[in-house]
Amino acid sequence: MNASAKKSALWLPPLLAGACIVAIWYAAIAIFNIPTYLLPAPHQVLHALWREQASLFPALLRTGGSALAGFSTAVMGGAVVALALASSRWLKAALYPWVLIIQMVPVVVMVPIFVIWFHAGLPSITAIAFVISFFPILASTTLGLVSTDRGQLELFTVLQASKAQEIFLLRLPSALPYFLSGVKIAATLAPIGAISGEFLAGTTPDSLGYLLLIYRSDPGKMPEVFAIAFVACALGFLFVGGVKLLSWWLLRHWHESERSGE
């Protein structure tokens, strides 16, 4: 198989499947006579996207900004705290189970707490995106830092490496794939967390979650609600796509998970 055929084999199936879904979508509306306030047709959703672009686009930036701020501080914070946890057996034993448990707190519960703590608006949304991103990164990075290959550690011992050399030249690079898989999970969660937070708090005008709150109160605005879904997908795709690209670039030479396209 040549290179271009290989590439088209990659994007052709999802494209065909997409076309099928749109066809079924139209067929369902026509056959079952589904009204727009239940299921708008694809072209109505596109039309809503176009019509509402003046409010959707700034909302996308606002929500994306909050998600990005929370996400990127979580990436740094998660890595640093993971390093602290991994450097002390006692600290890890004491705190790691709690890290796993705190991850279970749902966004619905976080929202009222954070709104009270950080006041309504941007800070509380950013805080939600932070918390929801922080724990998966922390959990997987910690796991990565303590899963260093025993043989490689012994090699460093025989080679008389210092503690700092062991961390920076061995433990950190071997934890990189774990860290990145945590970051990937966080990248899907951060935009979802931000939108849910905005929707539940209802205090951040010009955001996707807030727009959703407005659209959903009007039965005639079902196409707009679908348009939000579309924009939210795009936002999530941007986050995950960015992280996947970064991960590929960092691991392209050495890790099994990124070894395609060789």
Partner 1 sequence: MPTVRAASVAIESVGKRFADGPEVLANVTLAAQPGDFVALIGPSGCGKTTLLRLLAGLTLPTHGAVTLDGVVPIEARERLSFIFQEPTLLPWLTAQRNVELPLRLNGEAKNSRHERALELLRLVGLESAAHQFPRQLSGGMKMRVSLARALTRQPGLLLLDEPFGALDELTRNRLNEDLLRVREKTPFTAFFVTHSVSEAVFLSNRIFVLAANPGRIAGEISVSYPYPRTAEWRESADYQRLVARASAMLRQTQNAEGSGTPS
Q: Which stretch binds partner 1 (CB under 8 A): 11-19, 69-77, 113-121, 163-171?
A: 163-171
**Angle CA(139)–CA(143)–CA(149) in degrees, nearest 5?**
165
CB of 178 to partner 1, least distance (A): 14
Residue number with CB closer to partner 1 (88 or 165): 165
Residue 160's region, left for phi above 0, alpha for psi from -120 to 50, else beta, is left
* Candidate residues 13, 18, 35, 173; the one interacting with partner 1 per rule CB under 8 A: 173
d(CA 102, CA 96): 10
d(CA 26, CA 45): 12
* Candidate residues 81, 113, 176, 246; the one interacting with partner 1 per rule CB under 8 A: 176
Q: Does 167 bind partner 1 (CB under 8 A)?
A: no
Site for partner 1, residues 115 to 154, rule: CB under 8 A: 149, 151-152, 154
3-state secondary structure (DSSP) of residue 58: helix
Among all chains, which residue has been given the structure tokens 């795709």? Answer: 237
Residue number with CB closer to partner 1 (34 or 176): 176
Count of residues that bind partner 1 according to CB under 8 A? 23
Residue number with CB closer to partner 1 (149 or 218): 149
Q: Does 164 bind partner 1 (CB under 8 A)?
A: no
User: What's the DSSP call for residue 218?
Assistant: S
Q: Does 165 bind partner 1 (CB under 8 A)?
A: yes
Q: Which stretch binds partner 1 (CB under 8 A): 3-11, 95-103, 191-199, 248-256?
A: 248-256
239 and 71 Cβ atoms separated by less than 8 Å: yes
d(CA 189, CA 67): 9
163 and 77 Cβ atoms separated by less than 8 Å: no
Footprint of partner 1 on this chain (CB under 8 A)?
149, 151-152, 154-162, 165, 169-170, 173-174, 176, 253-256, 259
